[in-house]
């Protein structure tokens, strides 16, 4: 519990409880409302016996994309809208770390860490790891909850059909959260507050990069949309890694000073 990453996450969650409450609310919305509605008619919708469940477990990994393409309503990509919508509670949980970084900068905490001998990269990764940790914890709770609720309400056939969607939530959440933090830290202009808001502009980056996922769901069929979303995750991750590799050049010492 004394690790820098854990301490940073605890400090971030201590800034305000509002984002925790909002994240919980949207988690329930994602599980019980928009996910449930979008998944209707995606699978057989019938209850399953033990044989069906065993078959589902053994074949889901190898057949989920093909099954989804066949069983979703006319192969529609509309169920994929659940993927970017599922990012809402996850980005809400990452927001406090972003706010903490700006708060620490404005109050000289980052300058103090620099005086202790820490490098810009050391400070950078402290907040980045805290963001990724929070997103990961929420994801591993959120994804099983989605699958369990879908199984209870719509049956094993629907779970098999939409399985690629919740499985993409974890890498998508980690990639978007990491990109949001790295972009904001690398460019000091993103640390400024938006007009009429007390939140830094960098938060808008996290929401903006989920935009293409909405277009994928509306424009592409399910099977192709799954691969398009996967490609989107890979692109975001590669850009984030590029920022990390260039952090020594992008994050100047003066960017961490008030």
E strands, 79-217, in order: none
pLDDT tens-digit map of 243-254: 877 766 766 665
Instruction: For residue 113, give both structure tokens.
Output: 């860490």
CA distance to 37, 113, 192, 255, per residue, from 108 (Å): 48, 9, 16, 12
CA distance 239 to 51: 44
Return all residues near 64 (Cβ < 8 A) that are at least 6 apart: 160, 161, 163, 164, 167
User: Which residues of the chain have a pLDDT value below 70?
Assistant: 1-2, 35-75, 188-189, 194-198, 247-248, 250-258
- For the chain, the first-to-last Cα distance in angstroms comes to 29
Q: For residue 184, what pLDDT is reported?
A: 79
Q: For residue 51, what pLDDT is reported?
A: 37
Backbone angles phi, psi at 144, to 5 degrees: -60, -35
pLDDT tens-digit map of 62-94: 344 344 444 444 467 788 888 888 888 888 888
CA distance 184 to 178: 10
CA distance 77 to 89: 22
Report the run of H or E that residue 183 belongs to, with start and end: helix 164-186
Q: For residue 46, what pLDDT is reported?
A: 41
CA distance 213 to 201: 21
CA distance to 117, 175, 177, 252, per residue, from 128 (Å): 19, 11, 9, 17
Domain ranges of the chain: 4-256
Q: For residue 222, what pLDDT is reported?
A: 85
Backbone angles phi, psi at 193, to 5 degrees: -75, 150
Round the average pLDDT of the chain to a whole number and report it.
Answer: 77
Q: For residue 73, what pLDDT is reported?
A: 43
Q: For residue 238, what pLDDT is reported?
A: 92
CA distance to 119, 179, 185, per residue, from 115 (Å): 9, 27, 19
């Amino acid at each position: 519990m004394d690790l820098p990453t854990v301490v940073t996450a605890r400090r971030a969650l201590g800034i305000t409880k509002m984002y925790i409450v909002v994240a919980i609310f949207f988690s329930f919305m994602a599980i019980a409302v928009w996910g449930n509605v979008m998944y209707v008619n995606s699978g057989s919708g019938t209850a399953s016996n033990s044989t069906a469940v065993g078959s589902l477990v053994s074949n889901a990994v190898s057949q989920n994309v093909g099954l989804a393409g066949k069983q979703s309503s006319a192969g529609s990509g509309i169920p994929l809208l659940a993927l970017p919508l599922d990012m809402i509670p996850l980005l809400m949980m990452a927001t406090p770390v972003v706010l903490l970084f700006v708060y620490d900068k404005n109050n000289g905490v980052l300058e103090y860490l620099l005086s202790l001998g820490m490098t810009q990269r050391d400070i950078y990764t402290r907040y980045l790891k805290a963001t990724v940790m929070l997103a990961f914890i929420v994801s591993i709770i959120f994804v099983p909850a989605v699958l369990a609720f879908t199984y209870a309400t719509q049956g094993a056939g629907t779970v098999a059909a939409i399985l690629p969607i919740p499985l993409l939530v974890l890498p998508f959440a980690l990639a978007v959260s990491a990109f949001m933090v790295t972009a904001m830290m690398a460019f000091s202009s993103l640390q400024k507050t938006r007009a009429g808001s007390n939140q830094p502009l960098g938060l808008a980056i996290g929401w903006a990069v989920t935009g293409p996922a909405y277009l994928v769901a509306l424009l592409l069929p399910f099977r192709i949309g799954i691969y398009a979303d996967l490609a989107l995750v890979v692109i975001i991750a590669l850009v984030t890694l590029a920022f990390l590799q260039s952090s020594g050049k992008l994050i100047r010492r003066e960017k961490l000073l008030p």
